[in-house]
Amino acid sequence: MSDKDVLQDPRDKYPAPPFPKQPQPRPGLASEMNPKPDHGEESYRGSGKLAGRKALVTGGDSGIGRAVAIAFAREGADVAISYLPNDEADARQVIELIEAEGRKAVALPGDIQEESWCQAMVKKAAESLGGLDILVVNAARQQFRKDIAHLSTADFDKTLKTNLYALHWITQAALPHMPAGGAIVNTASVQAYDPSPILLDYATTKAGIVAYTKALSKQVIKKGIRANAVAPGPVWTALQPSGGQPDEKVKHFGENSDLGRPGQPAELAPVYVLLASPEASFINGEIYGVTGGNGIA
């Protein structure tokens, strides 16, 4: 294989804006996006980094969670995915992709805004997989509001429950199942460090996830469990056209990155694999930025 076959300019690897107008109702479907996101369906190749592991990935039907679930399965893990019932079509595709790798797949439809479901979901995942040693809390709510006057208490409550309360409920329920050597990987955001004015509540929760992960890591390492987070920049997912950004921003989404395009979910998955794997045995309490050059400092 020549260098020409191996090397590729990252600026040209994936589509760049402008993108077509494509509003969707929340929570949005990856299958309805144009261009369709790359979750690694064809591109991700595993090498046994997670052989025999048992993972729960929230928001595993689309976006970053979908890419992570696919990558974990191709690295040898059995995977349970949680998702909203309305996302069954996307979730079914992920289940089939996991099973195509000869791994066990568990579908967990439900609403993580409910504490009782978070507890039941973790229990079902652990029972179905025969244990749990990787937890990826990734599902999130993002709804732009142009002015604080338009950010209702109901909006604020839904975002905090989905992004922060659920993180706590799921982690609290999962830890009794997790052995030494296990790993927790949360999804933060560049919004925690450089918040957009139209994402006031979302950015607040992502900053909370950074603090929560750092504090949690100091607790769970005493049990031999590591906790880290990934902080993505602009990533082409169904979160954006389904109310996460105004239509005009979706059209130009990611053009201000150093690469002039948004990231694809498949470009995030290898970082989650690393942080979940034994290769990251000396990594704890860290926030990994994958921002297209925008940084998290």
**Catalytic positions, written as ranges:** 202
Rounded CA-CA distance 266/223 in Å is 31
Amino acid present at 23 = P
Rounded CA-CA distance 17/101 in Å is 34
Burial of 39 (0-12, 13-18, 19+ CB in 10 A): buried
DSSP per residue, 128-178: HHTS--EEEE--------SSGGG--HHHHHHHHIIIIIHHHHHHHHHGGGP
Hey, what are 49's tokens? 């980094």
Q: 60, 53, 157: which is closest to 110 by C-alpha? A: 60
Q: 215, 182, 222, 187: which is closest to 202 by C-alpha? A: 187
Hey, what are 83's tokens? 């998702």
Q: Is the C-alpha dihedral spanning 262, 24, 70, 68 positive or negative? A: positive
